Structure 1
Amino acid sequence: MVRPLGFLVGLGFITALVLAILTTPLANEHNATHEFHKHPEKLKLASDGLVPHWDKAQLQRGMQVYKEVCSACHSLHLVAFRDIGELGYTEGQVKAFAKGFQVPSINPDTGEPATRDGLSSDYFPSPYANETAARAANNNALPPDLSLITKAREGGKDYVYSLLTGFQNPPANLPAELKPGTGLHYNPYFANLNLAMAPPLTKGQVTFADGSPNDVKSMAADVTAFLVWTAEPKLVKRVQVGYAAFLFLLIFSVLTYLSYRNIWADKKH
């Protein structure tokens, strides 16, 4: 009985030693990654705070940045073209915008896959036919859909904005195992510091009709504001309804209390 027990104890020690040897490099790498990783910068938008509102001019600029830059790789499949009417566009402008996209269709004569001009009822199309094609065009990385990106990522809008503006050369003291490999780009706001997406924005890349600044930070703020809207287009209305409900309950509570006082005013306890 003693020998089997001793054997099991010895086996346990050996297992613990092997696990410690195998996990130590991983822990060191994690600590090194944490050392160079940065927290997202704060981005102030009109939709923030207790009284949020949409800056429609900024949202329109952000949609332009998405169309001219981001749509080449990223889909927006939860947003319909007709939805952008809420950004201040007329029905004719929405139709013209939708027509500028090619959406998947079927040739009625041959039954073969085809494309056609977009309609207001269509949703923003994916730039790729399927996931396989998307990975093949992006070094096996799958560009995420941006419809809910500011809700899906920790840090929300601050993370998206910081990621877009955070591309830089690796610091000189970055450990060799953390330096970006082939096809990767250093960004301290990304979880493992390196991502497959190249810097998407460059100064002057998009020209705005209203003459707004088109440096990297300004364009990043604009497209982030647009993605905040795509993730929660009813944000402002929801807050307004919340305030109306609060006011109603407050008035109702006051009236209820006054009624109580009036009913029991002449009653003796």
Structure 2
Amino acid sequence: MPVTIKTPEEIEKMRIAGRLAADVLDMIRPYVKPGVTTEELNTLCHDYITNVQKAIPAPLNYRGFPKSICTSVNHVVCHGIPSNKQLKKGDIINIDITVIKDGYHGDTSKMFFVGEPSIIAKRVSQISYECMCIGIKMVKPGVHLGDIGYAIQTHAEANHFSIVREFCGHGIGRVFHEDPQILHYGTPNTGLRLETGMIFTIEPMVNVGKRHIKILPDQWTAVTKDHSLSAQWEHTVLVTENSFEVLTIRPGDNL
């Protein structure tokens, strides 16, 4: 699939979709607490997206995915399926939201703490966030994707964490996942050069232990092989004429 350069009209629609996705994460924040189930969080997000935003939850029935959001708890790396399992004090959870509005996708995720997390849980969440920010701040026309991946990988490994390699960021627009692939590891001066009008996600998955993962029998849930904690943050980013614009920014975000 060729990399698409978005028109000004498409970019404006992507801004709207991105803002809606960010709003869902703000809406759900007060509900992430001990005793809630991830299925309840899914229902709240689904109802908000469909009834309030008049939008579509992109994950629902996407390639067979059964729910409207992804909820990845503790050692779940990504694509956790909401269920009747209750969250408990000390859990960490990534909630991944993608909405479709007027045919265009907005995609973002963030980490939430359930009660007081452990020191290592806070640390891996912070480093994952820093990795995402490092990648975003490098975005501008002419930059190689390999430089972005290398910078993200270097920061994670310098802090004694590891980067998951089986999943990556992706181009996004009318299509949920399109080219280019945005690897979170890489070699400097390699890979595609960024161009004004590209839109893609940066979403590093950072593990406390080794980088290796496995997929559970549900064919979706990815977990760390060594059961170590994993954290992820995600934003949708536009390449502007001289820099970048984060389309899924939330109030109070500090990049």
The normalised TM-score by structure 2 is 0.28
The normalised TM-score by structure 1 is 0.27
From the two aligned structures, give the one with the greater strand fraction: 2
Q: Which of structures 1 and 2 has the bigger CA Rg? A: 1
